[in-house]
Structure formats: C-alpha cells, structure tokens
Chains A and B, each alone.
Chain A
Amino acid sequence: MVLLRRPGRWEYQAVPRWIYVFAVLGTLFILVPLVGMVARVNWSQFLALVTSSASLDALLLSLKTAASSTVVCVILGVPLALVLARAQFAGQRVLRALILLPLVVPPVVGGLALLYTFGREGLIGKSLSIAGINIAFSTTAVIMAQSFVALPFLVLSLEGTLRTAGQRYEAVAATLGARPSTVMRRITLPLVLPGLVSGAVLAFARSLGEFGATLTFAGSLQGVTRTLPLEIYLQRETDPDAAVALSFVLIAVAVLVVGLTYRAPAHRPRAIVVPEGIHES
C-alpha cells in the first residue's frame, strides 16, 4: 500500500504503522466475500435474470418500502433523538436502551413482536381488525417491519450529532428571543442536517436489507410483500444464479445510495465545546 505524501500536507498521523496491517485485514474481511460473490455472477444471463417480472417487482417494492420507512424513521426518529439528546427526565437511560433494542435483538424477534402487537390476534391489531384495518400481509406491514429495525440507526446517528453540536448555539438563539420551536427549526435542525442525512441513509440501507422481521410479520407475496432480500432467499432454492444476480443488484443499489449521500462526520473547523453547566453530565 502506497501512502500518498504530498508536500505541504499535514504529515504527522497518530497511527502506528502496524495498525495498517489490521486495517487491511479488516478491509479484506469485508471486501473479499463481496468479490467472491461478484465472481459467481453469471454475466451472460445477468440481464435476463434481473429483469424477470419477479425480480423487477421485488426491486421496485424494496425501493418503495425502504423510502417509505425512511420517511417514517425521520418523522418518529428526529423528535426521539432531540428528546434523548436535549431533555432531562427520569428514566432517560432506560428509554435509550429500550429504543436501541431493535439493534441487538434478532430481526425475527422484532417481527414476532410486531406480529403479536399489530397482527390480527395482537394487542392492538385486534381492535384494528374490528375497525376493518388489517396490517398483516400488506405492504404497510413491510414498511412497519423495516421502520422497526431501522429507527435506532437514525436515532443513534442523530443523537450523536446533536450531542457533538452542543447547545451553545441554541442557548444564544434563545437569548435572542427565539422560542423553542423557532430554535429547533432555524438553528438545531440546520446545524445537524449532515447527521440527519447520514442517519436517514443508514435507515434506508438497513430497510433495504431487512429480511427477518419482514418475513415474520409481513409474509411474502410477489409485488406486495416480497422484497428483494426475500426474493433472493427464495431464488436460492431453485436458481442460485438468479439469487447471485439479485444480490449483486441489492449491493449495487446500497453502494450507490450510501456513496452518494452518506458523509462521514465532518471535521468541524472550530471545536464546539459545551460550556459547563448547560450540558447534562
């Protein structure tokens, strides 16, 4: 690996050389399996495989539902992140732990939880069913399953950005006479916009790859609930070539979306330090 050294560039890096060995190992660990999969793509059949009606339906459904669940995550996740990062109340730590739960439980468990809540016989689903609303086996169920697993990604990312940004600008805005809603709209949100975008992209990517919760809660029907990951799993049974081709499409879409929009937390020109007292410990 050749490290570029341009004159006039900041030369010192607090990274010991041996670290690069592990960094390279880490990179290979992620990339080599991807290469292995891409090597298996049957290119001569590729176009035919990915343009079958089942494949196109799955791709379209995946994009549609992932976009919808991203919107849901933004609507529910922004207030949640604000409350977690700014407000101070009893049980805050517990609330944060609970909200991050979908990150650590297997998605199938999330799907079961949704099923026993919004399913026909579920806690809330029973009343909904009486009111004529049936969520299971619908595209709505897919969006709910995706939102459930993706929400913590947005909340976590945005809460981190909010904490790094600190409250000093908000405090100054308040002393200038801005009401809390004005502060949020004109100061807080514009300042954390990069973090919000990153969080939304992560949520989208997670939604795109959702499998377990969708399968458990929403079922699998072409064009309605069978998203790309489900289609891949199914194709694998009979047509591994199609499964590999679709996997490649899924990866390409994810790389495209993430690469175009995701920005690593920017290096701010001036350190934003939270003054003593304003910040909760």
Chain B
Amino acid sequence: MSMFRKSVAIVAALMLTASLAACSPGANPGGTAESSTPNTSEGASSLSGTLNVFAAASLKSTFTELAKEFQAANPQAKISLNFDGSSTLVTQITQGAPADVFASADEANMNKLTTANMAQGTPEIFATNILTVVVPPNNPANITSFADLAKPGVKVVVCAAQVPCGAAAKTDEATAGLSIKAVSEELNVTSVLGKVTSGEADAGLVYVTDATGAGAKVKAIPLGLDKPTVNKYPIVAVSSSKKQELAKAFIALVTAAQGQKILQEAGFGTP
C-alpha cells in the first residue's frame, strides 16, 4: 500500500515538474546530460554511446537502414531514431529535446535551427526529392499526365501550401501552367498518399520516394517538367550535443557513397 502511494506521488510530482518545465521556454535543460562513454578517438570502430537522430518522416525507411549499417560498423554505438514532420522536430529541438543530429526534409525548417544558433557548422545537403503524380492501381479517372489533374471532376488531393510538399506542388502547378482544384489539402504527405491508396481520391501529388515506398498500392506518373521543384534534404549536428564525434561519423555515412546508394534506391535524387 505505501509502495503504491509512494509511486503515485512520484508520478504526480513528475507530471508537475514536466508541466512546469514545458512552460518555461527560456530554460535550456543543459543539453543532453546523459552519460556517454568519453570518446577516445582511436578510429571509427571504437565509437560508442547512443546517438539521437531526429529525421524527417520521409526518411524513415532509409535512415532505419542506415542506422543498422552504422551499428554494424560500430558495435559500441547505438542510433536512436525519432521520425516526425520536420517542423515538429525543429520545434522540439529548439525547445530542448535531446537531439544530436537533425535531418530535415526542407531547407526552411533547417533555417529555423541555424537561426536559433543550434546548428554545428553548415548543414549539408545529402538528398533531393521531387514530386510525382500517384493514382490508385485501377486509375479510376484515367489519369495519364500531370495536366489531367486539372480536368473537372477529378478528385485530386495535395498537401496544403503551408507544408513543404504543398508549396512544391503550387510551384510545379504554376510551372506547368495548370490550375488544379483539389478536393482536399492535406496536412502532410502521408495523408495524401493514404487518400490515394484507399481509393478515395483519383490522384495525388506526393514525393517520388513516397511513391516508391508505397510499391504496388499506387501507380506513379512523372510530372514531366523540365524544371521541377527540387526539395533539398539538409543534415547537421546539433550544437548542444555532447557527442559531436559520433554525430560527425553518422553524417559522414549518410553523405558517403554507401549512404547515397541506399538513398537512391529509395528514389531520392543526388544533391
């Protein structure tokens, strides 16, 4: 009974502390104070400790694979991955979340980190992405080109202009001289893809990598633009991180040939 009471008290105290901490934005909780074995820099294989990588949701499959490769090469090291929308991640980091590396799906969100003076050095572009049209496998609206999306009666789903994929779609639309009336402007690219794979929408605009990842659940139709909007993926170590060496090693893997191969297999373009 008293054990139970004690643990309840602890939980309540933690809740309060957490809520108080959350409402004091100025407080930097002293970076990542968790202990990691001091780096002796005797070569890559001796790297150890846990590296927190905050990466854009579209990097989920590739970064999971990259982390596996990295851990195979450095048995003492552990990569802890946190995937979410780039804007969510950058907000978390500037509010003090214990990130060591940040990989953004666009430069705008990376700029928020550099503006906050939390980037260690200059962010490095490691991949690019362009949009593509996706339709359900049975292609109910008989879409054969980007221009078909502007036809009346076609249910097109895009990202809202406020998110990177929506901004890119707007630009590409203008480049192609089209005026698409979308039935829904989704909050993220996953929702767009979901509406197409479920057959709810006739077509959607998503990144090439999303189309590749969806496999047979969608049919991709290239935009066919000479100058499509190229979305650039920058990566950087977070300045408050205590594991700069480990972070550097991971970023090196992503930008080196080994990492690039994995990214390109997933549909990403070269920087």
Contacts and interface: CB of A to CB of B under 8 A. Distances in A.
Asked if chains A and B are in direct contact (CB within 8 A), the reply is: yes
A136 B187 contact: no
Contact of A220 (B16, B22, B185, B198): B185
Nearest to A32: B19
B160 interface: yes
Q: Which of B9, B185, B201 has the most CB of A within 10 A?
A: B185
A235 interface: yes
B182 A233 contact: no
B183 interface: yes
B12 interface: yes
Contacts of B183: 137, 219, 221
Contacts of A215: 186-187, 191
B12 A237 contact: no
Contacts of A36: 19, 22-23
A233 B201 CA distance: 22
Nearest to B160: A234
Interface in B156-177: 157, 160, 162-163
Contacts of B49: none
Contacts of B201: 137
Given A22-B12, A136-B200, A29 B19 contact: yes
Given A235-B162, A236-B87, A25 B16 contact: yes
Contacts of B9: 22
A220 B184 contact: yes
Interface in B81-104: 85, 87, 91
Contacts of B15: 25, 29
A121 B182 CA distance: 19
Contacts of B19: 28-29, 32-33, 36
A35 B15 CA distance: 15
A137 B16 contact: no
Interface in A232-278: 233-240
Nearest to A135: B200
Given A33-B19, A33-B22, A222-B185, A137 B155 contact: yes
A136 B184 CA distance: 10
A119 B87 contact: no
B130 to A, nearest CB: 20
A29 B195 contact: no
B33 interface: no
B16 A219 contact: no
Contacts of B187: 215, 220, 230, 233-234, 237
A144 to B, nearest CB: 14
A225 B16 CA distance: 36
A206 B163 CA distance: 27
Interface in A86-116: 115-116
Nearest to A137: B183
A114 to B, nearest CB: 11
B267 interface: no
Q: Which of A219, A221, A230, A235 has the most CB of B within 10 A?
A: A219
B86 to A, nearest CB: 9
Contacts of A136: 200
A238 B86 CA distance: 11
Nearest to A25: B12
B26 to A, nearest CB: 12
Interface in B177-225: 182-187, 191, 194-195, 198-201
A120 interface: yes
Interface in B121-167: 155, 157, 160, 162-163
A202 B197 CA distance: 34
A4 interface: no
A236 B185 CA distance: 15
Interface of A: 22, 25-26, 28-29, 32-33, 35-36, 39-40, 115-116, 119-121, 136-137, 215-216, 218-222, 225-226, 230, 233-240
21 contacts: A22-B9, A26-B12, A28-B16, A29-B15, A33-B19, A36-B22, A40-B25, A116-B198, A121-B200, A136-B200, A137-B201, A215-B186, A216-B191, A216-B194, A220-B160, A220-B186, A230-B187, A233-B187, A234-B163, A239-B162, A240-B91
Given A36-B19, A136-B200, A237-B160, 7 more contacts: A25-B13, A25-B15, A29-B12, A33-B22, A137-B201, A233-B187, A236-B87
Interface of B: 9, 12-13, 15-16, 19-20, 22-23, 25, 85, 87, 91, 155, 157, 160, 162-163, 182-187, 191, 194-195, 198-201
